[in-house]
């Protein structure tokens, strides 16, 4: 018995290793470490390969990408990184593992606001951190800004995901950058007091909670709304989206907080030229259109049509603060979440 199992197992191992280690024929490649899920970026990468003949090897890493790159050093196989926010790119810049790219094509595609002045990193798409409001149970004008979310009249009416999630940490960091740590703490405590439940779920789950009547306001990223509104496979999500009105906060002041997904070329890149070509492609018309149409993100390049659903929310003023500056307050923001015990949810009498 044991023997048979062993033989069978060894056969499987042989086959899989042969399969895994079979060398790739094409040397014309770019090697990518990505924070973004494969199902999101694969259509883009396939289009790039089709157009240029350059193969893209991807590994979706997320946690520990920075440490892996640092440890691999000059021998790192990675040519390029793709992240879901500028903060991570900034960490890499500070760890000195990126190299500058200068390309007039890329610079023409991406407005200066969304790229590093020396070409160390590039923003590719923009998503707003907006407020969802119940169509049924809220009045227009009651909440117009992030600050309004702390108003005592909203007690027990707000839902959010964990304060520790990168999108919320980033929003809190931007509040710190604008108003200072003390004010940010007061604000965050106010929002916590208004929570309807312990923070949980992702942004989509907050819309669902509004639909179910558990809360009236929520904080979420724009593309979730697009995905719900057009979800043919799960029509119940259309109902959630239907229960919700989109508010772009801070339109009369700083503008709505945005986070930017981006890319950078590593210092150790062996295929730096190909990586630069990929960034040029991702910021070009075709890829920006895919981002807009399939992922409901805002293209960084001007003149690209928005998805009709996204366009239907109207235009908005985005916060123009330097995102690398905001990223510096991430650790402080995370601490504020601890100090205010935000993730423990609403607390009576505190």
Partner 1 sequence: MTQTSASPTGAAISTTKNRLRLDGWTIGAFVTAGLIALPILAVLVMALVPSDDIWAHLASTVLPHYIWTTLVLMFGVGAGTLVVGTGTAWLVTMCAFPGRRIFEWALVLPLAVPAYVIAYVYTDVLEFAGPVQGLLRDMFGWHNRQDYWFPEIRSLGGAITMMTLVLYPYVYLLARAAFLEQSVCVLDVSRTLGKTPWQCFRLVALPLARPAVVAGVSLVMMETLNDFGTVNYFAVATFTAGIYDVWLNMNSISGAAQLASVMLMFVIALIALERTARKNKRYHHTGTKYSTLPTLRLSGPKQVLASVLCTAPILLGFVVPAWVLGRYSLQFYDITLQSNFIDYVLNSIGLATFSAILAVILGLFLAYAIRLQGSASLRMVARFASIGYAVPGAVLAIGVILPLTRFENSVDALSRDWLGIPLGLFISGTVGALVIGYIVRFLALSYGAVEASLAKVTPSMDGASRTLGHGPGRTLFKVHLPMMRTSILTAAILVFVDVMKELPMTMMLRPFNFETLATYVHQYASDELLEECALGALSIVIAGILPVIILSRAIARSRPGQK
| Position 229 contacts partner 1 (CB under 8 A) | no
Q: By CB under 8 A, tell whether 238 contacts partner 1.
A: no
Q: Does 155 bind partner 1 (CB under 8 A)?
A: no
x/- letters, 245..284, toward partner 1 (CB under 8 A):
----------------------------------------
How many Å apart are CA 104 and CA 107, to the nearest integer?
Answer: 5
Does 3 bind partner 1 (CB under 8 A)? Our answer is: no
Q: Which residues, 128 to 147, sit near partner 1 by CB under 8 A?
A: none
DSSP label at residue 304: P
Q: Which is nearer to partner 1, 311 or 344 (CB)?
A: 344
Closest CB to partner 1 among 14 and 180? 14
**Could you tell me the smallest distance in angstroms from the CB atom of residue 41 to partner 1?**
10
> Is position 71 an interface residue for partner 1 (rule: CB under 8 A)?
yes
CA dist 290 to 20, 57, 304, Å? Answer: 31, 20, 10
Q: How far apart are CA 86 and CA 92, in angstroms?
A: 10
Which residue shows structure tokens 């009709």?
Answer: 308
> Which of these ranges, 147-155, 197-205, 292-300, 307-315, lies near partner 1 under the rule CB under 8 A?
197-205
Instruction: Give the shortest CB-10-to-partner 1 separation in angstroms.
Output: 8
Rg value, the chain, Cα: 22
Query: Using the rule CB under 8 A, which residue among 3, 25, 50, 63 binds partner 1?
Result: 63
The Cα-based distances of 57 to 15, 30, 138, 274 in angstroms read 22, 6, 48, 12
Residue 25 binding partner 1, by CB under 8 A: no
Dist. CA 291–CA 125, nearest whole Å: 7
230 token code pair: 């057009």
Q: Is 158 within 8 Å of 195 (Cβ atoms)?
A: yes
Cα dihedral: 242, 290, 113, 127 (round 10): 20
Would you tell me how many other CB atoms lie within 10 Å of the CB of residue 348? 5
Distance CA 272, CA 100 (A): 10
Of the pair 39, 112, the CB lying nearest partner 1 is at 39
* Of the residues 47, 60, 142, 290, which one makes contact with partner 1 according to CB under 8 A: 60
CA angle (267, 273, 275) in 5-degree steps: 70
341 belongs to the binding site for partner 1 (CB under 8 A)? yes
Binding site for partner 1 (CB under 8 A): 1-2, 5-6, 9-10, 12-13, 15-17, 19-21, 31-32, 37-39, 57-65, 67-68, 71-77, 91, 162, 164, 166, 169, 198-202, 204-205, 208, 212-214, 233-234, 330-331, 333-335, 338-339, 341, 343-344
């Amino acid at each position: 018995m044991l023997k048979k199992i062993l033989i069978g197992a060894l056969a499987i191992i042989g086959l899989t290793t042969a399969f895994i280690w079979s060398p790739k024929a094409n040397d014309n490649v770019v090697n990518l470490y990505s924070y973004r899920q494969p199902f999101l970026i694969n259509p883009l990468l396939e289009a790039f390969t089709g157009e240029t003949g350059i193969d893209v090897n991807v590994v979706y890493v997320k946690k520990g990408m920075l440490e892996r790159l640092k440890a691999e050093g000059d021998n790192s196989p990675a040519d390029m990184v793709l992240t879901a926010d500028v903060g991570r790119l900034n960490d890499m810049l500070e760890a000195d593992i990126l190299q500058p790219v200068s390309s007039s094509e890329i610079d023409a595609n991406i407005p200066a606001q969304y790229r590093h002045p020396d070409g160390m990193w590039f923003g590719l798409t923009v998503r707003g951190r907006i407020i969802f409001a119940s169509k049924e149970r809220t009045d227009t004008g009651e909440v117009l800004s992030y600050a309004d979310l702390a108003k005592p009249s909203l007690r027990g009416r707000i839902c959010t995901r964990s304060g520790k999630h990168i999108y919320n940490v980033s929003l809190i960091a931007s509040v710190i950058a604008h108003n200072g740590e003390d004010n940010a703490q007061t604000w965050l405590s106010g929002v916590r007091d208004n929570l309807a439940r312990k923070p949980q779920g992702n942004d989509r789950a907050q819309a669902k909670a509004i639909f179910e009547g558990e809360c009236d306001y929520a904080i979420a990223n724009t593309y979730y709304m697009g995905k719900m509104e057009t979800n043919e496979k799960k029509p119940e999500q259309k109902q959630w989206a239907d229960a919700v009105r989109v508010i772009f906060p801070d339109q009369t002041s700083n503008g709505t907080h945005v986070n930017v997904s981006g890319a950078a070329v590593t210092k150790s890149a062996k295929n730096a030229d190909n990586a630069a070509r990929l960034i040029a492609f991702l910021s070009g018309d075709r890829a920006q259109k895919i981002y807009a149409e399939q992922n409901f993100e805002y293209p960084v390049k001007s003149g690209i049509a928005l998805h009709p659903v996204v366009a239907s929310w109207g235009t908005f003023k985005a916060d123009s603060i330097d995102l690398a500056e905001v990223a510096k307050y991430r650790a402080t923001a995370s601490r504020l979440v601890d100090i205010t015990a935000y993730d423990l949810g609403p607390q009576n009498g505190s």
